[in-house]
Amino acid sequence: MGSIPEEFGSLVFDDRVMRAKLSAKVYASLKKTIDEGKELDLNVANAVAGAMKDWAIANGATHYTHWFQPLTGVTAEKHDSFISPAPDGGVILEFSGKELIKGEPDASSFPSGGLRATFEARGYTAWDPTSYAFIKGKTLCIPTAFCSYGGEALDKKTPLLRSMEALNVQALRILRLFGNDAVKCVRTSVGPEQEYFLVDKEMYNKRPDLVYTGRTLFGAKPPKGQEMDDHYFGVIKPRVAAYMEELNEELWKLGILAKTEHNEVAPAQHELAPIYSTTNIATDHNQLTMEIMQKVAARHGLVCLLHEKPFAGVNGSGKHNNWSIATDGGVNLLSPGETPHENAQFLLFLCAVIKAVDEYQDLLRISVATAGNDHRLGANEAPPAVVSVFLGDELNAILEAIERDVSYGGTAKTTMKLGVDVLPKFPRDTTDRNRTSPFAFTGNKFEFRMLGSSNSIACANIMLNAAVAESLKQFADTLEAAPDFSSVLHATIRKTIKDHKRIIFNGNGYDDAWIKEATEQRGLCNYRTTPDCVPHLLDEKNVRMLTSHKVFSEAELKSRYEITLENYCKTVTIEANTMVDMVKKQILPAIGSYVKELSATATAKLALDSDMPCGFERNTVKRLSALADGIAVHTAELENVLLKLRSADEIGEEANGIRDELLPAMGRLRLSCDEAESLTAAKYWPFPTYGELLFGVR
């Protein structure tokens, strides 16, 4: 790789390339579309398409694709070459504005939640000019939205763009009230921290559960896990360091601002964090990041695991969604400034977020709901399933003073003195961090910590943007009609604090006493599982809010309900079937082989000396035989539950059955198998152990 500044974004048709390749008139028109949402002119599209094709071919591309994000949770692409037939029997290389703007992939085989029948195949992809095109391999990838023949959104990008526009409209109303007429648009920005595991590829291939489901369905606790906390921020192993180096190079070429890398808490767990980008671009980049992580891992003989809980007994992997709001001039609307208690504009936007999180806590929980994430939330490694807001001491004191209508005395800066003269003194932040909080204010942004590692960040940001847009709308409606702006502004802030302070919690989110207080005294939601929370997507208040801001239609919301529960059911059913397959074909035969060896050993000993006790062999055979019988019984129980669930009348009934019957049956089977693993000789156990997987990459 050359110098980083030269290589960064070298495979992206970004602003630098557009300035160089487009005429001044075309460039100006396209920038208006990107920055201000102006309608795209077809002549401009033709000019952009020609320049994009020439640039892509010069960089080795032979094909183009409309790159989109269907409701599968991963990306999709259909490749077309640039070639067209020439009259003389040869070919010419063409790419028109029409081909840039619109594609037509088959929409029948993607999840639609009833929006499309199987025989209704037509779907469209539409160019998203706000997200730069890029080259992957030999293909020009054009970020696009994906919709049905009837115009319904079949992807995650379209509702995200709608939610960003909804927030933009309402935020501009607020800024105009404060006399800010220069701002043209307001955008949310996100920096998603990505956690992941790396395991040896050879070991991975010997674990059917990892291959089929992305997580281990069996595995006895190893002698050492994360108890010593020695992996966290520890020295990065050479093989992992080489992986991270190549990963950075690949991401930087695509303009992805990969910034921070380190070992995480669990053995074999790591984290990558980027610099902030506009939410739409950050979402595209995070999808690309997950794809490239896995591709680069394969080149190093590794497998990158993005499941939320690939190993029991050690921390799972999340994705921290650092979210903020900024103007086109770069002003962060969630920056308190030196005197936040005097910054009314900041306080109003802060209150909008607090109000949004309180009123739509169910939507935030739904936005991170997956079968994998259910294993992680509330497990003393991630935030609880109860949504709350952490503000820190200073902001909390300011809001309390406003609520009581008393003056705020301020918080003096404390200088940190470490007791060694040579060490520098530095000012301490006015607030600590709270890693147990689902939604924590961290200086000039909020960190939404509930997302699972494999989640698309689009889902969480759709709900967050829409909910904050609703708060801002209500504030704007009130303030625009106010006879005295200042007094009504103060009253609005004060009332919001009083009405929504129940959502603010600065303590330990892992404490059982907090969960009791949150649910019994404060009336907050505690949806532990996906089937618990997803039905609330269709609650009247949620449908009304999301449709009023045109983020979703009612039909689109119903489709998301169906798809989310269907994905949950399919995921756990595949896991259960994998368990049955592994038990019958590998685990029970392995136990039988070891029992046979022990029995033969005992027989041989007795042949030498009939008084020899053979206590180890007898006891182990007895325990393993009993476990094998129990495993067979638990396997039959699991199969019976699977059979029963096939007759469920609708998706909600099936999801509830999986939560209440299938998962407990899987847990009982695993418990017996893990105990058998701890008693069986290593040469007989058919899979790499937890110890080998977690500590096998050096």
Q: Which residue has the higher pLDDT, 117 or 308?
A: 308
Hey, which residues does 321 pair with through a beta bridge?
A: 192, 448
pLDDT exceeds 60 at position 417: no
pLDDT exceeds 80 at position 427: no
pLDDT exceeds 60 at position 423: no
Out of 52-56, 372-376, 431-435, 457-461, least confident range: 431-435
Instruction: Kindly state the percentage of the chain with pLDDT values over 90.
Output: 74
Indicate the angle between helix axes 279-299 and 238-253, nearest 10 degrees.
140
Buried b (16+ CB within 10 A) or exposed e, 371-394: bbbbbbbbeebbbbbbbbbbbbeb
Mean per-residue pLDDT, 663-682: 97
pLDDT exceeds 60 at position 119: no
pLDDT in tens, 137-154: 999 999 999 998 888 999
pLDDT exceeds 70 at position 341: no
580 vs 154: CA distance, rounded Å? 34
pLDDT given for residue 371 in this prediction: 96
Amino acid sitting at position 239? R
Mean per-residue pLDDT, 176-185: 94
**DSSP reduced 3-state for 638:** helix
**DSSP reduced 3-state for 5:** helix
pLDDT in tens, 611-633: 778 888 889 999 999 999 999 99
* Residue 337 banded pLDDT, cuts 50, 70, 90: confident
**The pair of three-digit structure tokens given for residue 655, joined into one six-digit string:** 């999801």
Averaged pLDDT score across all residues of the chain: 91
Out of 325-329, 362-366, 434-438, 548-552, least confident range: 434-438
Mean per-residue pLDDT, 419-429: 50
Instruction: Kindly state the percentage of the chain with pLDDT values over 70.
Output: 93
Greatest mean pLDDT among 426-430, 513-517, 638-642: 638-642
102 vs 142: CA distance, rounded Å? 10
pLDDT exceeds 60 at position 245: yes
SS3 of 478-535 = HHHCCCCHHHHHHHHHHHHHHHHHHHECCCCCCCHHHHHHHHHHCCCCCCCCHHHHHH
Nearest to 375 by CA among 310, 436, 283, 319: 310
pLDDT exceeds 50 at position 433: yes
User: pTM here?
Assistant: 0.93
Mean per-residue pLDDT, 600-613: 79
**DSSP reduced 3-state for 471:** helix
pLDDT given for residue 3 in this prediction: 84
668 vs 277: CA distance, rounded Å? 45
pLDDT in tens, 33-78: 888 777 788 889 999 999 999 999 999 999 999 999 999 888 999 8
pLDDT given for residue 90 in this prediction: 65
Using alpha carbons only, what angle is made at residue 182 by residues 130 and 472, rounded to the nearest 5 degrees?
75
* Residue 416 banded pLDDT, cuts 50, 70, 90: very low
pLDDT given for residue 426 in this prediction: 41
Q: Where are the beta strands (DSSP E) in 181-340?
A: 186-200, 258-263, 269-274, 277-278, 302-305, 318-327
pLDDT in tens, 563-599: 999 999 999 999 999 999 999 999 999 999 999 999 9
Domains of the chain (ranges; CATH) run 4-155 (3.10.20.70), 163-219+228-552 (3.30.590.10), 569-695 (1.20.120.1560)
